């Protein structure tokens, strides 16, 4: 039988899950083989999740990207079936294309919250997002979703007591963001373009002392929910709205009864403070160092966040050389 609340020690178990996925993925850095690395990391993450004493359910799986044969699917049960009933969000590799090109920004992430507390956007694929840190949280009002970017940047700058020219904004480098990027530049803020990895980008924008003030733009819907875990856990703020990029996606969203005009906060996407979020670096990022393989061992660097207490733990671990081989 399941329990109602995730125990505090589940956090370290989640770190072991992301470490396992990262170790499996690490052998493929720079390989150019997208399918093989994601398959290896997904299977490793699933195996690790199934060792945990929990009655877990994956909120958003990877079938939209990898088909019904994906190891991690929406609604899938994970864990031993004994322990707390939890909603689970997963991304074995946030930034797979970065990893296979040997570029920075690839991480493995997982989060849990009590069962029924997490909003699911399935079958949506894309989501528009705004993310800021705790210091700028009060500046993020719903009007920001439709206002000119310069107006939003001015609000953030006023709250943070910074000139707009001193603000730094993360945007995914996509053709759909051409006008958005130009708006940010015209306003005078600095732009950090990312090839992908907007869940990790959201965590960077929400975490303190990273030098990033805002993440803005359309990215993955599943990464949006993962981001909501992380943003709420570190005390940042987030606004999000579904953003179908094709007529077929729009029809699927409408058929599922989802409101593509509704603006959600991270508190509405994850309606609980009992959140645990873990991430392990695969390649270098602004928050986590890359994992390294040595002759006798491997090194990993991870982040564990517990929303209820506001605790952030940075964890360095050494693993026997046979792990991940």
Burial of 280 (0-12, 13-18, 19+ CB in 10 A): buried
**Of the candidate ranges 4-18, 189-203, 231-245, the one whose mean pLDDT is the lowest:** 4-18
The pLDDT value given to residue 321: 64
Q: Are strands 168-172 and 190-194 parallel, antiparallel or unpaired?
A: parallel
DSSP state of 118: B
Residue 320 pLDDT grade (very low, low, confident, very high; cuts 50, 70, 90): confident
Phi, psi of 135 (to 5 degrees): -65, -35
pLDDT of residue 123: 92
Region 202-220 average pLDDT: 95
Mean pLDDT along residues 254-275: 95
Nearest CA to 52 out of 6, 93, 94 is that of 6
Extended strands (E) in the chain: 2-3, 55-58, 77-78, 83-94, 107-114, 126-132, 168-172, 190-194, 214-220, 237-242, 264-265, 276-281, 292-293, 297-306, 311-320
Across residues 221-230, what is the average pLDDT? 94
State residue 67's pLDDT score. 67
Which pLDDT value is given to residue 1? 45
Give the tens place of pLDDT for each residue, 59-91: 988 876 766 678 899 899 999 999 999 999 999
pLDDT above 60 for 141: yes
4 pLDDT above the threshold of 70: no
The phi and psi torsions of 250 (rounded to 5 degrees) equal -60, -45
Average pLDDT over residues 18-27: 96
- Global pTM? 0.92
Average pLDDT score over residue span 209-232:
94
SS3 85: strand
Tokens matching residue 45? 């993450």
pLDDT at 37 over 90: yes
The pLDDT value recorded for residue 71 is 87
Domains, the chain, in order of start with CATH, read: 2-117+275-320 (3.30.540.10), 126-269 (3.40.190.90)
How does residue 308 score in pLDDT terms, banded at 50, 70 and 90? Answer: very high
Q: Which whole number is the average pLDDT over 242-253?
A: 96
């Amino acid at each position: 039988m399941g329990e109602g609340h995730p125990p505090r020690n589940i956090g370290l178990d989640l770190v072991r899950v992301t470490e396992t996925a990262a170790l499996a993925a690490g052998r493929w850095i720079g390989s150019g083989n997208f399918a093989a690395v994601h398959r290896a990391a997904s299977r490793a993450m699933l195996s690790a999740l199934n060792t945990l004493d929990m009655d877990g359910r994956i909120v958003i799986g990877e079938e939209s990207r990898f088909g019904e044969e994906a190891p991690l699917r929406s609604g899938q049960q994970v864990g031993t079936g004994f322990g707390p009933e939890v909603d689970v969000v997963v991304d074995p590799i946030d930034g797979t294309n970065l990893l296979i090109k040997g570029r920075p920004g690839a991480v493995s992430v997982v989060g849990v919250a009590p069962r029924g507390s997490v909003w699911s956007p399935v079958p949506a694929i894309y989501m528009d997002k705004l993310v800021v840190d705790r210091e700028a949280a009060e500046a993020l009002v719903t009007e920001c979703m439709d206002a000119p970017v310069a107006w939003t940047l001015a609000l953030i700058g006023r709250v943070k007591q910074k000139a707009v020219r001193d603000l730094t904004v993360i945007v995914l480098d996509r053709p759909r963001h051409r006008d958005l990027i130009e708006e940010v530049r015209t306003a005078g803020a600095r732009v950090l373009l990312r090839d992908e990895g907007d869940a990790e980008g959201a965590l960077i924008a929400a975490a303190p002392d990273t030098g990033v003030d805002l993440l803005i733009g359309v990215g993955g819907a599943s990464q949006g929910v993962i981001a909501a875990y992380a943003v709420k856990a570190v005390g940042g703020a987030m606004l999000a709205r579904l953003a179908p990029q094709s007529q077929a996606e729009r029809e699927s969203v409408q058929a599922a009864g989802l409101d593509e005009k509704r603006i959600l906060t991270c508190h509405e996407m994850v309606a609980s403070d009992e959140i645990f979020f873990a991430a392990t670096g695969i390649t270098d990022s602004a928050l986590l160092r890359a994992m390294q393989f040595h002759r006798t061992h491997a090194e990993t660097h991870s982040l564990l966040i517990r929303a209820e207490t506001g605790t952030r733990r940075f964890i360095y671990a050494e693993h026997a050389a046979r792990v991940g081989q």
